[in-house]
Amino acid sequence: MSETMRQYIDEAESVLLHTYNRYPIVLKRGEGVYLYDLDDKKYLDFVSGIGVFALGYHNREYNDALKAQIDAITHTSNYYYNVPAIEAAKKLTRVSGMDRVFFTNSGAESVEGAIKAARKYAFLKDGNTDHEIIAMHHSFHGRTMGALSVTGNPKYREAFEPGIGQIRFAQLNDFDSVLSCVTDKTCAILLETVQGEGGLYPAEEDFLRKIRALCDERDLLMILDEVQCGMGRTGTLFAWQRYGIKPDLMTLAKGIGCGVPVGAFLMTERVAEKSLAAGDHGTTYGGNPLACAAVAKVLELFERDNIVGHVREISGYLEEKLDALVSEFDFIRLRRGVGLMQGLVFDRPVAPVIEEALKRGLILINAGPDILRFLPPLIIQKEHVDEMMGILRESIAAGKGAL
């Protein structure tokens, strides 16, 4: 490592709040599916900024659209209309079949908004303020107080209790456990269509259909968090689209901006009519023309280049290669995931493999201590999968002592 990079890392550790154990590289630029650090060392990226850079780095058309928007205007406040927000919302509603969009600046904020919409919907029905939300164990919805309160991982919540309250946790894919959480105060059921941080657990079709039916029967709101699994990652634009159901509310972020901080929550007209009204919710930056120009461009490129079709094709190849590893190494228990959101479940911690991979120019991440997670840019080709597999094999061999 160069002296310059070493120095930056030391400085970072003296001025940035230490809320992350960071890997010892300073990233400078990206090109396609590759990243470069300050020393110009090249890395194949199978994390894409945690499911963000769907279109890869340095996409010319995306960059040009943002540059043009910077020269026009980047912020207006929500008291006025701006064209990129209108264009982005038109595209998002068309591709999702949802009716109304509220733009946010992150995934956690999208979840906050969905929780507020659900509470207001229930409040308008009976005037009560003690409504409950059912969320899932092992879920992850973000780090702000509301999003944290519905995150089913006590480790993240413990020091920050009390949360917003009135939250009950059920077991993913166990409909009886959901039923046992339902009371006459329940107003919404919230889940990730595919759990990301919690370990790449897809919600099963039958489970989703039963939740949909339960919500219809009792007028509860079904909220699907698609912050990580949305935007094409699983081989449909939104993961729920493969199951023939539709949520009442959906949260987005990560991939929809491809590098610009932006999120959104979407709802059907039925919910919009009877929930958040003027004055109920707001944000200074949310829906700004710069972020929305990014969303509009991303959706345009997704459609033109059939990114979702490409994910369906290439993910079969990735699955095949990962499955081969599962048969090869007895300490790799199984592969789990959908599309380009995959995990290899080890019977031991994966940290040594990630460290060895980084040394060899491959960026990987975990999901919990013993799951190796793969969230590559959606534009990867077979040759990138092959390159990744080569480095991964070497990294497993090198990390074996520590494994």
Residues that bind ligand PLP (CB under 6 A): 106-108, 111, 140-142, 192, 196-197, 225, 227-228, 253-254
Reference 315, options 224, 232, 391; nearest CA is: 232
CA distance 231 to 50: 13
Nearer to ligand PLP, 37 or 112 (CB): 112
Nearest-approach distance from CB 175 to ligand PLP, in angstroms: 21
Nearer to ligand PLP, 45 or 387 (CB): 45
Nearer to ligand PLP, 151 or 395 (CB): 151
Nearer to ligand PLP, 142 or 259 (CB): 142
Reference 231, options 318, 308, 139, 290; nearest CA is: 308
Q: Where are the beta strands (DSSP E) in 215-275?
A: 221-225, 249-252, 263-267
Nearer to ligand PLP, 111 or 371 (CB): 111
| Backbone φ/ψ region at 231: left (φ over 0), alpha (ψ -120 to 50), beta | left
CB 119 within 8 A of CB 84: no
Q: CA 227 from chain center: how many Å?
A: 3
Q: What is the DSSP letter of 102?
A: E
Nearest-approach distance from CB 227 to ligand PLP, in angstroms: 4
CA distance 68 to 89: 19
Reference 258, options 299, 309, 314, 310; nearest CA is: 299
CA distance 248 to 216: 10
Tokens 């070493």 belong to 6
Nearer to ligand PLP, 105 or 395 (CB): 105
Nearest-approach distance from CB 263 to ligand PLP, in angstroms: 6
Nearest-approach distance from CB 190 to ligand PLP, in angstroms: 10
How many CA atoms within 13 Å lie on the side-chain side of 392?
A: 26
Nearer to ligand PLP, 137 or 348 (CB): 137
Nearer to ligand PLP, 87 or 192 (CB): 192
CA distance 378 to 30: 15
Nearest-approach distance from CB 390 to ligand PLP, in angstroms: 29
CA distance 34 to 32: 6
Backbone angles phi, psi at 383, to 5 degrees: -60, -30
How, if at all, do strands 186-192 and 221-225 pair? parallel
